[in-house]
C-alpha cells in the first residue's frame, strides 16, 4: 500500500485502484473474508485517523468532498487534492471511520469509505471489473465528482467566480483514505 501511495504521489493516479485493493485486504470483513486487522486482533484495539474536515449532513451544501482540500496551482487553477496530513484530524473507532460517509451527492446518495474502496476495487479494476454489478451512488459520484468543473464564488461581495478542476475525485479520496489508514498503522508501530 505504501509503494502504491508513493507512486500515486509521483503522478501515477491510477495507483488508486491498487490502493483500494490494499485497503480492502487490510479492512474488509464479510462472512467469507476476514480483514488483516481482524485476524491480527487490532481492529478493536486501534483508533483510526479521520481527516474529514466535516461530517456529511443531508441538505447541506459543500464545496467539495469532505476528505479533500482545495489548492491553487501555479497557473492559477483551483484543484482538489488529498491533503495527506495537512489539516486537523481526530481519532475514532474502526466502525466510525470505515463506515462514515465521505460523499453525499445532490440526489442524497452517499458513499462511505468502505463502499468507495469496494467500488474502486471492484468496478474500476483495482482487483477485477464487475460490469454487471453497478452501484448508482458510486457512478453518480464519478459523474458529479470526476469530470465536472465546479464554480465557486470566492469573494462573495465582489462576485468573482473561479473554476475548480475537480480531477479524479474518487481516486484522490482513496489516496486520502490510504493516508488515514497508514497514519493509524504507523501510530501503533506498523
Provide the whole-model pTM.
0.81
Note the residue count of the chain: 190
pLDDT tens-digit readout, 153-173: 344 334 444 455 556 788 899
pLDDT value, residue 142: 59
Q: Residue with C-alpha cell 469532505? A: 66
CA atoms within 13 A on the CB side of 127: 13
> 21: helix, coil or strand?
helix
pLDDT for residue 120: 85
Q: Mean per-residue pLDDT for 137-152?
A: 48
Residue 103, H or E segment: strand 101-104
53 pLDDT band, cuts 50/70/90, is low
> How far is 101 from 174, CA to CA, in rounded Å?
13
Residue 179 has pLDDT above 90, yes or no: yes
> How many angstroms separate the CA atoms of 92 and 82, rounded?
20
What is the percent of the chain where pLDDT is above 70? Answer: 67
Amino acid at each position: 500500500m505504501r509503494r502504491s501511495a508513493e507512486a500515486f504521489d509521483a503522478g501515477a493516479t491510477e495507483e488508486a485502484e491498487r490502493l483500494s485493493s490494499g485497503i480492502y485486504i487490510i479492512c474488509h470483513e464479510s462472512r467469507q473474508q476476514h480483514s488483516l486487522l481482524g485476524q491480527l486482533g487490532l481492529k478493536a484495539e486501534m483508533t483510526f485517523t479521520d481527516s474529514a474536515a466535516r461530517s456529511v449532513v443531508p441538505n447541506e451544501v459543500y464545496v467539495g468532498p469532505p476528505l479533500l482540500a482545495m489548492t491553487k496551482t501555479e497557473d492559477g487553477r483551483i484543484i482538489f487534492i488529498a491533503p495527506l496530513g495537512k489539516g486537523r484530524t481526530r481519532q475514532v473507532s474502526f466502525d466510525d471511520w470505515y463506515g462514515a460517509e465521505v460523499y453525499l451527492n445532490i440526489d442524497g446518495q452517499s458513499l462511505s469509505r468502505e463502499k468507495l474502496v469496494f467500488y474502486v476495487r471492484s468496478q474500476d479494476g483495482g482487483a477485477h471489473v464487475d460490469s454487471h454489478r453497478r452501484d448508482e451512488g458510486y457512478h453518480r459520484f464519478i459523474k458529479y465528482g470526476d469530470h465536472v468543473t465546479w464554480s465557486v464564488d470566492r469573494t462573495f461581495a465582489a462576485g468573482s467566480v473561479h473554476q475548480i478542476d475537480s480531477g479524479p475525485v474518487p481516486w484522490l479520496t482513496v489516496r486520502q483514505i490510504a493516508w488515514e489508514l497508514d497514519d493509524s498503522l504507523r501510530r501503533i508501530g506498523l
